[in-house]
Amino acid sequence: MFALNQASDLDEPWLQFKNLLVRQLAFCVASPNILAAIPPELVLKHSFQLHANKTWARHFQNYRSRLLYLDQHPQELEMFLQQLKSTRLGLRFEMFIWFWLLDQNYHSYQLLGHSIQKIAGSITLGELDFLLLNTESNKIEHWEVALKYYLAERDFSLACWYGLNRSDTLVRKLNHFSQKQFQFEDALGQQIERRFAVLKGQLYLPVCPRQQVIPTWVNLKRRLGSWGSHLPHQNAHFYRLQRQEWICPASHLSSETAHWWINGLYRQKDKPNFYMFRPAPLLFQNSNHQLYEKSLSL
């Protein structure tokens, strides 16, 4: 079933921690972007960059001692996350990034602002996730952060990667970065000099993909999952992940081995395989299913 070229020795240092919140925080800091590069077919209106894999690896090493402490004493992290009233994973991801950026002793960024609204008169033009001073380069950086799960359908071209809500596609998100979110030249009286998209999560390939090459812009240093509308073999021992575990699974099994299946993300017990189960009707776009898909939006 899982014929993907998935190395079992991918560096996933977030799995060393026991506390679920700390594992998720470690994932948000340490995991590579789901894209290795901006797809060349994307037409950029406002250019932006992606951090290199080694950048996130360095951030994790600098933060590891703090993560080890939080793993034993998670109260500060727990209290910080209590500010979040939404269950949306994308906002939860942003909170973890915010917590890390506030820990200024462990990285080279000075946080200048978070959720900065740009307003012209009575019109809101947009909002910046993070404005930072990089104390190594002495440059002002604008970061937009997103946690995304995209499934490749007909082929692996940029236009064929769909989110759980089918109006959320990879190409639409990248265009939104370029056309909308990175449009601003300044914020809080600071001239923006560099723009970065922090785009993490997971990509999923069909269980039985056609013979085709995975695009070079897909980051193979981030584990790929599989998706399908058929049940795995009964001996595959998959269990269903809780919603928050989509960021990072708990260190223990959070549910029983699945004997019946509903829409969601599953993980294999004895192998690091992820399987997104999507009943066939959910793959088609009509009015009834759009309403159901919207309820699953991140």
Buried b (16+ CB within 10 A) or exposed e, 239-264: ebbeebbbbbbeeeeeeeebeebebb
Alpha-carbon distance 174 to 159, whole Å? 11
Please tell me the predicted confidence (pLDDT) of residue 112: 98
List CB contacts of 62: < 8 A, sequence separation 6 or more: 106, 107
Give me 60's structure tokens.
């994790």
**What is the DSSP code string of 243-280?**
GGGGTS--SS--SPBPSS--SEEEEESSS--EEEE--G
Please tell me the predicted confidence (pLDDT) of residue 283: 59
Q: What share of the chain is helix, strand, coil (3-state, %, to 5)?
A: 30, 25, 45
Please tell me the predicted confidence (pLDDT) of residue 155: 85
> Which 3 state secondary structure label does DSSP give 218?
strand
Please tell me the predicted confidence (pLDDT) of residue 42: 95
Please tell me the predicted confidence (pLDDT) of residue 37: 97
Please tell me the predicted confidence (pLDDT) of residue 166: 85
- Please give, one letter per residue, the 3-state secondary structure of 34-96: CECCCCCCCCCCCCCECCCHHHHHHHHHHHHHHHHHHHHCCHHHHHHHCCCCCCCHHHHHHHH
Strands 274-277 and 225-228: parallel
Give me 47's structure tokens.
């250019």
Please tell me the predicted confidence (pLDDT) of residue 8: 59
User: Which residue, 179, 161, 178, 183, is CA-closest to 170?
Assistant: 161
φ, ψ dihedrals at 194, nearest 5°: -140, 145
Q: One digit per residue, pLDDT tens: the chain, 298 residues?
A: 444 445 556 899 999 999 999 999 999 999 999 999 999 999 999 999 999 999 999 999 999 999 999 999 999 999 999 999 999 999 999 999 999 999 999 999 999 999 999 988 888 899 999 999 999 999 999 999 999 999 998 889 999 999 988 889 999 999 999 999 999 999 999 999 999 999 999 999 998 766 678 999 999 999 999 999 988 877 789 999 999 999 999 999 989 888 888 999 999 998 889 999 988 766 554 434 443 344 344 5
Contacts 24+ apart (CB under 8 A), 55-63: 56/29, 56/30, 56/31, 56/32, 57/11, 57/30, 59/29, 59/30, 59/100, 59/107, 60/13, 60/26, 60/29, 60/30, 62/106, 62/107, 63/26, 63/29, 63/100, 63/103, 63/106, 63/107
The neighbouring-strand residues paired with 150 are: 203
AA letter at 176? H
What does each C-alpha distance from 159 to 69, 156, 168 come to in angstroms?
A: 43, 8, 11
List CB contacts of 189: < 8 A, sequence separation 6 or more: none
Please tell me the predicted confidence (pLDDT) of residue 7: 55
Q: Where are the chain's structural domains?
A: 13-295
Give me 146's structure tokens.
């997103």
- Residue-wise pLDDT for 227-263, tens only, equals 999 888 777 899 999 999 999 999 999 898 888 889 9
Give this prediction's pTM.
0.91
